[in-house]
Every structure is written in C-alpha cells, then in structure tokens.
Structure 1
Amino acid sequence: MVQTGTRAVDTLRDTAAFAQAMERLGYRRLWYAEHHHSPAIGAFPPVVLTAHAAASTSVIRLGSGGVLAPNHAPLTVAEQFGTLAALHEDRIDLGIGRGPGTFDEAIARALRRGAGPATDAEYRQDVAAVLSFLVEEVALGPLPEPWLLVSSTAGAALAAALGLPVAIAHHIRPDNTLAVVEGYRAAFTASRWCERPRVLLCVETVCAPTQEEAVWRAGPMNVVKAGLLKGLSQAPFPTPAQAAVHPFTEQERQALDAFRAQQAVGTPEVVVGRLAQLVAATGAQELMLATPVHDLGDRIGSYELVRKHWGAAAGSAAGSAALV
C-alpha cells in the first residue's frame, strides 16, 4: 500500500524488508498483485517486485498473486517467470488471474492495446498458452509453480480442467468460496502441474493484542473498500485516524460489517479460531494472509502474532493447513 504521507518509492523501499521479515517468521509464500491507476495500492509490476524480493531473501517462495493474463502476451509472461525460476530455483510461483486491475477504462484499454475485456474463451486460451510456452519455449531449467487465482465457479472450472492448484480469493468474494471449492474438487483432472486438487485460501487477516486495536488497524481498508464499491479510484491509503472519521453511509457500513464477519480480524485467539473454521469448512491445504495495515511495523506484528499462535494450535483444526 502507498500510505498517506508517503510516496510510492517509500513503499518500494519497504518491499525487501517486508519479504525478509516474512522469511524470518517462517512464512512459505509471498505474492504480489497486479494493480494499475490505484494511488492507494500502487502500480508495481509483480514480476519486478518478485525479482527484487528474491534477490533479498534465500528461502521464501515469491511470485505473482497474480499477474493478469489479459494484460500481457502469454510468451512474455512465460519468459519473465521462467527466467526468475531459473535464477531462483524452486522459489518462484506464477499465479495467473483475470480482470484489468483497474477501474479506469482508458488504462484498461491501454494495457490491452485498445481491446475490450477478454472473453472467457480468450482468457482460457491465454492461460493455456502461458503454460504451453513455459514447457515448450522457455524451459530454462526449473519451472515456476503455476496457480490459477479464482473468485468464481467459472474460474474454478478452468483450474480443474487444466489441472492447476487453485488460489481462492476469499478476501475479495467470500460468498463464493464454498461453491468454488466444491466445483473445483468435483471436476479436477490431474496434470503435470498437479496430481490432485490443491486449495490455497486467501483471507483478509488483521491481528493485534486487543480486539479494539485490530479493528482500528483494519479501518483504512474499509475506506478503500467503500470506494471500490462505488468503482472509484482512491487517494493514498488512509491512516487509522482518518478512517475513524470517514463518513460511511449506512449501506456501506452494513456491507463492510458483513464482509469483515467472513474474514479474520481480532485478537490472536479470535483470528486463529476464525482461520480454523475456514480450514474446516473448505479443507484448504494452505492459508495465505492478506493484511492491509497502514503501518509497516503493525503489519509485520500482525503476521508475527498469527504465526506464533497458529503454531501453538498444531494438532487442532488449524494445524491441518499450512500457513503461507
């Protein structure tokens, strides 16, 4: 996030420190999303951030979560991530998704050289082409691990047909999660990429010593979400104090409360309990945490608290999924 009072370059300078902190805490994966024309998030290409973080770490897996297939030539995506995989053996993930990554129509058309939104058939062809190019044209050595990012049953069906592991965007469309998991597992076909269904669940997670502090830290993302509900571009990521006085409408408050109830915000006990419920409901093998918190220290502190208490829950429902 590009926080209020900072510049995009300041966010970039934090990238390596954050990756090193996640590696030190024992997290398995760190992914970067593709966004455009978003003052609150920044327009930082996932492949560039992946390369930068990989050069600053030694163990943690890094990659895209995701690179948006309609915005890029499939061969370019394959070459970029194939090169990263050759340079950082067994550490690179290639998460592929769809959507323009922006609410600005002019930017979306610029990304696609004037073309409109990709059809389902075009998207399927793009994903299949990336996978084909990885094997047939790039193949510099170790390949990146491909994932399909989905938030709908249509995306789940594509992942199942291609035999790809699936990363489910519970932090974006939680109401779809159970249907996505069920459809994916029912239709899965084994491939060279994945022998059996493999589910990663991404959950918005903000953890703090007290419930009040966790809600306070989660406040800025509520402002961003309220803007997204209106299809608006955002100002830089607000502070918790700014979020506390933001004039939400009653409709926005209801929507945000309903969303937060499906995520994991609170004390370590509350967060671990909620994550365990999601694992039990979905059978996810991996949990990825999205923690949109203004202060870098607070953000790292949230991950540290969850990691500590998740480990203590080993052997329970929580212990059945890897925390990534």
Structure 2
Amino acid sequence: MPGLALPLSILDLAYIGSGETVADSFRSSVEMARNAERWGYHRIWYAEHHNMPSIASSATSVLIAHVAAHTERIRLGSGGIMLPNHSPLTIAEQFGTLAELHPGRIDLGLGRAPGTDQPTMRALRRDPSAADSFPQDVLELQGYLAGASRIPGVAAIPGAGTHVPLYVLGSSLFGAQLAAALGLPYAFASHFAPDALHDAIAVYRRDFRPSAQLAEPYVIAAVNVIAADTAAEAHRILEQTERTRVERFLGRGRTFTDEEIDMLLEAPAGRQVLAMMRYTAVGTPDTVHDYLAAFAERTGADELMIVSSASERNAWMRSLELVAEVAGLGDRPTVTAD
C-alpha cells in the first residue's frame, strides 16, 4: 500500500491520564516527541488551555522549550497560543527566545478564543472584548518578529528578526478570511469543530493573498485517529475514549458511574459532544490510511494534523506509531510551509 502523499503532524494536548500526575504527562509528551521525530512526523503542536484538569499545556511556550531541549530536529509549536490572553510583545519575546535557542524548529500558531471558561478568562485579566483586536494583534506580533515594530521605540528582544512563522488557527470563516488576507498558513480545528471545515477552506483558498511568508495557500486540517493492531481493539479504544470525553466535557470535575455515562451518551448533550469527533479515523492501520487519504482528498489539505484520541497512554503511543508506519513517513522528504 502506498504511503500518504502529504506531511503528517501531531497535536499533543498533554493529557493528564487517569491516575497520572502533571509530571507524568510531560514525560509522556517528551517520549512521544522523541518517537515522532524518529518515526518521521513533520511537527508537533501544543494547545493553550486553562483550568482544565485533564490538560497540562497551559504554559505552552514553556512546554515547547522543554520538549525542544529533548529532541533534535522535529518542528515544535503552538496550536495555538490564544493571542487575546497575552500582549503581542510578550509572545514575540517568548517565541523569539525559542527560535534563538532552537533555530528553524519553532512555529507560532495563533487563535482568538480564550481557551477556557468565563471565570478563568477573568482570572487571566483578559478583557472580554480582546478578541475584537485579534487581527491588529497578529500584525503587531508579526512586526515584532520581523524586526519592523509597529510601536515606535519598542522592539522584541529576543524576537526581532527571528521571523518565526505564523499560522492562523480557526474553526469558522473568520480565521479563514484573516489568514487569506494576511497571506498566512491556515489550520482548521476539524478534530473538534467539524461543521465549517469545507466552507472555511474554500474561502481561504479563494481569497488568499501572497505574502512575504507564503506565496501560495497552505491548509492544515486536523483529524482524530485511533489505530490499533486489530479493528476490535481500535473500536474498544474508541468506545472508551468517547466515554472519557463525555465525562470530561459534561462532568465539570465530577466522576460518573458507568450507568450515568451510558445515560449521558444517549442524551442530547452527550450526542453533541460525540458529534465533535465527526472526523475520526478508527481501525487497523490500512483502514486508517484509507480514511486519511480520502479526508485529504476531500479537503484538499496540504498537511494533516492528527490527534490521537486514545485515553490509554500505551494505545495513544501505539496509534501514532502505526499511522507513521502505514503512511510511510520515514521514506520521503519533508514538505513545509515555513
């Protein structure tokens, strides 16, 4: 079976599994990154989330620095930094520091959502209207990294002249329009927000304007993956993952009995949570390969960002390994939008 003809990357949410500590999660992220580098994945991104007991990537730039220090070649970045939570200067300094420490390996994906709930947004000192200035903040950040600050007398040190590549993340037409207008790569969060995927990509490609960073449109589409050695095992992992996901989304820290989770899965709220996983490749490596190939063809994506949804740590790692093998990642040169 031929491998996939486009780069594969990984979104690592730094899950804290049942019975694990935050330190356990970080050790697993390092282990996975070292394996992913060896397996041939193009890049790994980490997402900024806050006040979520199961996700440890809130200090995103710090986690990137830690993983970068334990790897050699693989690109690492944010998927994404929620820019309205921060000043553009602060992010330019953080990612400028990363770029100076690890030249040619750092990406900066940007989103405009808070990455959390309303009380935590207030604790972050975020102005509820901050998202409205997202386009201007992206331009300000871009200026700092280019060494062409838009704020007279203010420079990002480190940061100026590093030209850390920017990516716009989105789950609606807004991000697609902004990425197109600025001539930046566009990453769509179809692993949890599938509804606008095709419309957003169409708008982005139609309206794209070349820039100093990017001459042609470049689309990254995210997709959930559960690959296992047998179909039965893959579907067992999927069922467990669905139960864990519904409990996390609807439980608000509460632990449910198996009977309660069964009821939640059949309730409208539970079905809505499961619908977020519409784009999920599940099964043996060959089945997953065929799904990813068809998904790439339907979307016209230039790169796939896979999310291993397995809630069990060993299954998570094995899934990523099997995808790399069946996709033939180690047998072709890297293609970039950097």
Fold conserved between structures, TM > 0.5 = yes
Question: Are 1:110 and 2:126 an aligned pair?
Answer: no
Match of 1:131 among 142, 153, 159: 142
Cα deviations across residues 157-204 of structure 1 (Å, max 9, x unaligned)? 001011100111110211211001100000101111111100111111
Cα deviations across residues 252-295 of structure 1 (Å, max 9, x unaligned)? 56445644443212221221111111111111111111113233
- Counterpart of 1:233 in structure 2: which amino acid? R
Q: 1:224 to 1:133 in 2, by over 3 A?
A: farther
Cα deviations across residues 131-162 of structure 1 (Å, max 9, x unaligned)? 11111234555432211111111110001011
For 1:206, the equivalent position in structure 2 comes to 226
For 1:297, the equivalent position in structure 2 comes to 314
Are 1:167 and 1:201, in contact at CA under 8 Å, matched by a contact in 2?
yes
Measure the CA separation in 1 of the matches of 2:139 and 2:115. Answer: 20
1:6 deviates by 1.4
Aligned-pair RMSD on alpha carbons? 2.8
Identity, % of aligned positions: 38
- The gaps in structure 2 that reach 5 residues or longer are 1-14, 148-154
- Counterpart of 2:264 in structure 1: which amino acid? F
Are 2:146 and 2:162, in contact at CA under 8 Å, matched by a contact in 1?
no
- The gaps in structure 1 that reach 5 residues or longer are none
1:215 deviates by 2.4
1:227 deviates by 5.2
For 1:233, the equivalent position in structure 2 comes to 252
For 1:270, the equivalent position in structure 2 comes to 287
Q: 1:116 to 1:257 in 2, by over 3 A?
A: closer
Cα deviations across residues 24-70 of structure 1 (Å, max 9, x unaligned)? 11111000000111011135311011100111011100010101001
Q: 1:249 to 1:303 in 2, by over 3 A?
A: closer
Q: TM-score normalized by structure 2?
A: 0.83
Are 1:199 and 1:284, in contact at CA under 8 Å, matched by a contact in 2?
yes
For 2:34, the equivalent position in structure 1 comes to 20
- Counterpart of 2:193 in structure 1: which amino acid? R
Question: Are 1:184 and 2:195 an aligned pair?
Answer: no
Q: TM-score normalized by structure 1?
A: 0.87
Q: Which moved more, 1:245-254 or 1:129-138?
A: 245-254
- Please state whether the residue corresponding to 1:58 is helix, strand or coil: coil
Cα deviations across residues 65-114 of structure 1 (Å, max 9, x unaligned)? 101001001000011101111111110000111211112x2211121x25
Are 2:192 and 2:277, in contact at CA under 8 Å, matched by a contact in 1?
no
Measure the CA separation in 2 of the matches of 1:59 and 1:243. Answer: 47
1:224 deviates by 5.0
Question: Are 1:34 and 2:45 an aligned pair?
Answer: no
Measure the CA separation in 2 of the matches of 1:215 and 1:182. Answer: 33
Q: 1:57 to 1:284 in 2, by over 3 A?
A: same
Measure the CA separation in 2 of the matches of 1:244 and 1:205. Answer: 26
For 1:308, the equivalent position in structure 2 comes to 325
- Counterpart of 2:22 in structure 1: which amino acid? A
Are 1:39 and 1:235, in contact at CA under 8 Å, matched by a contact in 2?
no
The number of equivalent residue pairs is 311
For 1:248, the equivalent position in structure 2 comes to 264
Question: Are 1:145 and 2:165 an aligned pair?
Answer: yes
